[in-house]
Structure formats: structure tokens, C-alpha cells
Amino acid sequence: MRAANSRDEGRVTNELKRRAKWFLGGSFLAVGLMQLFQPNRTNPPIVPGHDLLSSNSPPTEVVSLLRTACYDCHSHETRWPWYTRVSPMSWWTAKHVADGRQELNFSEWPHDRPKRARSLWRNITVEVEGGSMPLPSYLWIHTESRLTEPQRQLLIDWAEKQIELLKEDGAESQSP
């Protein structure tokens, strides 16, 4: 009786091992095939004079914060680290960058559209003040982009100052 049970247990163990090998092999094959499909990770050319920093000369600390915490997703100056070449992480990162650039792109700042610029400044203030930017998922890997409360306040104060300057320039009456 014991020999039969032992034989049955051996068959079950061998079957589990066989299935585990097929599962692992299939998983490695799937991950390997995913690497063949990579998203576009290029940065569009930077047009001189179009970037936010070309005409809105913020204090050095604000420039540093913007470049460290914002520019990777919200400009044409994205740094593409090694993990952006590994699928499916590459797909996720490329989508985040595309979405970020669509919402706010410092490389395509609307210098000639003050009303639009004011709207962007308001959105920046709301997002930074609410803690939703930089994205928490971005901060998992980019710990240097975490903003302290004083840094958040510095960005908010500077954005609010830009809103006031645009009001003084008569942006209220201009169309979007």
C-alpha cells in the first residue's frame, strides 16, 4: 500500500515539475517576444525660444526643481534610462511621457498665448499643491524627484507670481 502511494506521489510530483517547466518556458518566451515590440523613445527637436525657460527666467533653484521633477515627462528633454528598453516597462513609460507632454509641455510653452500660459500655471499650482505631481509611480524609481514641502511651496509661489505677471500684462482680455 505504501509503495502505491509513493508511486502516485512521485507521478504527481513529476507532473507538477513538468507543468512548472512548461509554464516558466512559456513565460520566458512571452517576455522575449515582447522585447521585439518597442515604443518610440525619441525626443522631438527642441526649438530655440519655445521652451519655458527661454523667456521666463526663474530662480536657479526653481530651474533645478523643474528639470529634476518635471522635465522628464513634460518636455522634449526626456532622459530614457535602461528600464525604458525593457517591455512591458517601456510601453508604460512611453505612454506616461506622451500623456505628460500632451497635458503640459515645457518645450512648447505658449509664450504668445498669455491666457493659455495662465491656465497652465494654475494647473501646475493645483497639481503640485495637491501632491499629485510628480506622479507617485515616477517617484518609486526617481527618488531625487521627490519634492519637500518647502520645494513644493517654492514652485507654487513662483507659478502664482507668473499668473500675476500675466494679469498685469493684460492677459485677461486676450483670447486663448
pTM of the model: 0.72
Q: Are residues 63 and 22 in the same domain?
A: no
Q: Are residues 78 and 126 in the same domain?
A: yes
Q: In whole angstroms, how large is the CA radius of gyration of the chain?
A: 25
| Non-local CB neighbours of 128 within 8 Å, separated by 6+ positions | 147, 152, 155, 156, 159
- The answer to whether residue 165 is domain-embedded is yes
The domain containing residue 28 runs over which residues? 1-34
Q: What are phi and psi of 130, to 5 degrees?
A: -75, -10
Q: What is the pLDDT along the chain (176 residues), one digit of tens a residue?
A: 555 566 666 677 787 887 877 777 776 776 666 666 776 778 888 888 888 888 777 889 999 999 988 888 899 998 888 877 878 878 888 888 888 999 999 998 887 888 888 999 999 999 999 888 887 877 777 888 888 999 999 999 999 998 998 887 654 444 44
Bond before 134 cis per omega within 30 degrees = yes
Phi-psi label, residue 170: left if phi above 0, alpha if psi -120 to 50, beta otherwise: left
Q: Are residues 17 and 84 in the same domain?
A: no
Q: Are residues 71 and 147 in the same domain?
A: yes
Q: Are residues 108 and 169 in the same domain?
A: yes
